[in-house]
Amino acid sequence: RRGASSHDGLPIQTWSARIEPRGRRPGGLPVMVGANGPRMLRLTAELADHWNGGGEASDRRRAVSGRG
């Protein structure tokens, strides 16, 4: 899809936002995972590029990374 788009609503408003796909990225798209359970945190650390952990970030990060 190309061209421009406008939206007037919650939570954002845009007017004449340009739609310009930029093609493939070297290495593919980054993967972000939202997880808090122990198993998913291990998988996220192993496989994801970014982590969205909500409000408990510091405690969870220490538990998963092994850094204290």
Q: What is the pLDDT of residue 43?
A: 93
pLDDT values of the chain reduced to their tens digit, one per residue, 68 residues: 667 888 888 788 888 888 787 778 888 888 999 888 889 989 999 999 998 877 655 666 666 666 54
Q: What is the pLDDT of residue 59?
A: 63
Q: What is the pLDDT of residue 68?
A: 47
Alpha helices in the chain (DSSP H): 38-47, 57-65
Instruction: Report residue 9: phi and psi, to 5°.
Output: -170, -175
In the chain, domain spans: 31-68
